[in-house]
Amino acid sequence: MMRSTLLLASALGLLATASPAAAQSLGGDSAGSRLDGNAVDALARQQRIAVTGTLGFPPLPAVTADTPRNTIFYADRMPYGGTVPGGEVLEATKTSFAIPKEVTGTGFAEFVVYQLPDTYDEFGTPHPMVIAYHGYGASANSVGNQSTIDEEANARDMVYLSVTGLDDQLFGSPISQQNTHAAIQYMVDNFNVDPDRLYMVGFSAGAAISANFAARHRDPDGLMIAALGLVSCTGDWVLEYNLGDVNLKAWMQNAFNFGGPPSSELFAYQAASALYDEETSYPPVTSAIPVPAGSMVTNLAPVPTYLTYDTLDTIPHVPTLCDNIESMVQAAGGTVQKTVVTGTVLPGPPSVPAPHSWEVLDEVALFDFFDGKVVDRYPEDFDAQQDRETTVSWAEFTPERDDKFVYVEAEARPASSRLIVSKASNVEVIELDADLAGLTGPLPYRVTFTNTSVGPARLVLGGFPESPSYLKTFGTNALVTLVDSDPIAGTLSLDVPGMTTMDFKVAHDPTWTTVLTTSPNPVAIGSPITVDIDGPAGDPAVWLVMGVLETFVPIESIQMTVFPGPPSFIRYLPLDIDGDLSLGQTVPNDPALEGLRFPTQVVTTDSGGALHSVSNHWGLYVAP
């Protein structure tokens, strides 16, 4: 395969603004013979450190002819060796520059290499973009030196971006991924890049980081990866730690990686990995048995994945891990195209064996796989295993604990106006948006929610075509109690106890047109509170009912859900000409009220005194 060599500039420039025109080039690109891998990586590292500063990692040991190849500590840094046959390779010019720390938001700049295709059109159809991720200890320049991904991108009218991820010795830790995210977002914001056709490819450790990045980035309003390429993927950082020498262990315990060993920081390792395997399988690696509950690749069902490796890979567990990724993604309902090769060599002469290198990749086949794939931002059905507060498709969730994965399994049925969440673990709050799920018809909608955690989960329902009034138990039509409304956001919410399934209908009552709120909510005893009522214009007065009992109460032509009898508090209040009222009161300074919730509702009367309009069912909380 034809390879290009990036000629690095001797002087370093720093991007002064976020404007592409202001990006000061650090080097151009031309074709020619390969350079010594140690020299290229050493120079690239010097340039990058001059931009980002040092993170406390000493230089990696030099790669020599007799360097062991059986760990990522060395194997990811294949020396280039040999020469490129066939003469000059024509390609677009690559530009190296640094995205400043003010843009990344991490306090560190991000060193990247990008290339615009010869056909680049600033105002035409947006171009797809391929994001390339280097192997462990190799620079962002190494991808262009050791593969034809940049040439293939140019030939297919695609923008090319190679990222550093802050430092070449990071393992996709949160700060590393934030720098990577900033680099991709920079290209989307400043060039004519199609955000729905972002493709990511990585080698070895970079393949694992790419898989993890795609798995973690599923927010439909943010960056999402449309298809993924994994070359000689490793991916289980706990395994690599256990198999690594004292140097690699020290690197992985660095504060910018995981901050300690897996024995104390297991979740940090899992959250940045592609796979997590049974710990009994290492060391030594006899058979790596993946654990779905700790493996982020279970999120890759909506991301078509191209997977390739050499059967003679010098890191012996790579084929096993790659096969495990394939089986897990397919089990989750995803698509994997696997290409297995044997006996990869560097182009010669001499023909140097390279079974763990970019040479394993058939770039043409990879780009054929990428061709035409577009991200699906709002899949109706999804499984989501996430390590932080985020949004996936039509659900947004907040973890109950930040040292465990959130797991949500959900499906939308627009034809039957139904949402189903069959699993929700480690969820403190989960918000479901019916509109984003494709439900557009009139209420009622049916919602089935299963909380598989021990503790309660706060369920928030919104995105309805009309204001939701109350919830009715499916089958019996009984009122679901302890439901709170937010008439401004158009949502209903309730706490679902742990290990419980709730099945109900979201209903709309056309007489519920008045809006009731109190603030603050919750309110402390002895503190002021404001009651705001927005009723129909022309209605002269309201009955305010604050009680403790919740049930359906049909009165005249309307239906209430707060029982207006003893021990309720009922008050008659006049409205202004617009049907509005803002009433200031003081909560009694009575400790017996602390921690209580008072269901509250108002009913307006028309000019003849008949009951006319009902408000939302409001839960007034007194702070504990």
pLDDT, tens only, 184-234: 999 999 999 999 999 999 999 999 999 999 999 999 999 999 999 999 999
What CATH number is attached to the domain comprising 210? 3.40.50.1820
Other beta carbons within 10 angstroms of residue 14's beta carbon come to 13
Residues 357 and 410 in one domain: no
Domain final residue pick, 507, 534, 557: 507
Instruction: Say if CB 393 and CB 381 are below 8 A apart.
Output: no
Q: Give residue 567's pLDDT band: very low, low, confident or very high (50, 70, 90).
A: confident
Is 37 among the domain residues? Answer: no
DSSP 8-state class, residue 524: -
pLDDT band at 71 (very low <50, low <70, confident <90, very high): confident
Copy the structure tokens of residue 244: 């690594």
Is 471 in contact with 482 (CB distance < 8 Å)? Answer: no
The range of the structural domain enclosing residue 438 comes to 381-507
Same domain, 281 and 348: yes
Distances (CA, A) of 503 to 70, 122, 243: 54, 51, 49
- Average pLDDT for residues 539-554, to the nearest whole number? 96
Q: Are residues 463 and 529 in the same domain?
A: no
Are 295 and 311 members of one domain? yes
Looking at mean pLDDT, say which of 37-41, 347-351, 352-356, 502-506 comes out highest. Answer: 502-506
Residue 426 predicted with pLDDT over 80? yes
Looking at residue 88, what is its pLDDT?
Answer: 44
pLDDT at 285: 63
- Residue 607 CB neighbour total at 10 angstroms: 10
Please say if the pLDDT value at position 34 is more than 80.
no
The whole-angstrom distance between residue 278's C-alpha and the CA centroid of its chain comes to: 25
Residue 20 domain flag: no
Structural domain total, the chain:
3
Residue 595, pLDDT score: 96
CA–CA separation, 60 vs 63, rounded Å?
Answer: 9
Mean pLDDT of 526-547: 96
Same domain, 481 and 339: no
Question: In sequence order, which ranges of 307-353 are alpha helices (DSSP H)?
Answer: 318-331
CA-based R_g, the chain, Å: 30
Domain for residue 12, yes or no? no
Same domain, 285 and 391: no
Among 313, 338, 370, give the residue marking a domain's end.
370
Query: Could you give the 3-state DSSP secondary structure of residue 132?
Result: strand
Q: What is the pLDDT of residues 319-344, one digit of tens each?
A: 999 999 999 999 999 999 999 999 99
Global pTM?
A: 0.90
| Residues 313, 431 within the same domain | no
Query: For residues 515 and 571, is the Cβ–Cβ distance under 8 A?
Result: no
**What is the CA 398 to chain-centroid distance, rounded?**
12
243 falls within a domain: yes
Where do we find the tokens 């430092």?
167
- Burial label, 261 (beta-carbon count in 10 A; 0-12, 13-18, 19+): middle
Same domain for 465 and 586, yes or no, is no
Q: What is the DSSP string of 264-300?
A: HHHHHHHHH-S--B-GGGTTTTS---B-GGG-GGGGG
Where does the pLDDT of residue 408 fall: very low under 50, low under 70, confident under 90, or very high at 90 and above?
very high
**Domain termination residue (choose one: 507, 531, 548):** 507
Q: What is the spatial distance between Cα 549 and Cα 570, in angstroms, rounded to a whole number?
A: 13
Q: Are residues 406 and 492 in the same domain?
A: yes
My answer on whether 210 and 347 are in the same domain is yes
Measuring CA to CA, which residue among 290, 336, 74, 55 is closest to residue 176?
A: 55
Q: How far apart are CA 610 and CA 606, in angstroms?
A: 6
Q: How many CB atoms lie within 10 A of CB 457?
A: 26
Handedness of CA 177, 181, 182, 187 (dihedral sign): positive
Dihedral over Cα of 572, 574, 580, 582: its sign: negative
Do residues 329 and 297 touch, judged by C-beta distance below 8 A?
yes
Evaluate whether residue 122 is within a structural domain. Answer: yes
Residue 366 lies in a domain: yes
What is the structure's pLDDT at 91? 62
Rounded to the nearest integer, the mean pLDDT of the chain is: 89
Q: Is residue 30 part of a domain?
A: no
Half-sphere exposure of 18 (CA within 13 A, CB side): 14
User: Who's near 10: CB < 8 A, 6+ residues apart?
Assistant: none
Dihedral, CA of residue 313, residue 70, residue 74 and residue 241, to nearest 10: 120
Residue 23 counted as domain residue: no
Average pLDDT value for residue range 370-374: 98
Report the C-alpha gap between 12 and 166 in whole angstroms: 17
In the predicted structure, residue 180 carries a pLDDT above the cut 50:
yes
**H or E element that contains 252:** helix 246-253
Whether the CB-CB separation of 28 and 94 falls below 8 Å is answered with yes
Strand arrangement of the beta sheet that strand 470-473 belongs to: 381-386, 406-413, 418-425, 445-451, 500-507, 470-473
Mean pLDDT of 556-579: 94
Least confident segment among 12-21, 325-334, 518-527, 595-604: 12-21
355 and 416 within one domain: no
Whole-number Å distance between alpha carbons of 95 and 487: 52
The pLDDT, as a whole number, for residue 7 is: 26
pLDDT at 28: 36
- My answer on whether 502 and 366 are in the same domain is no
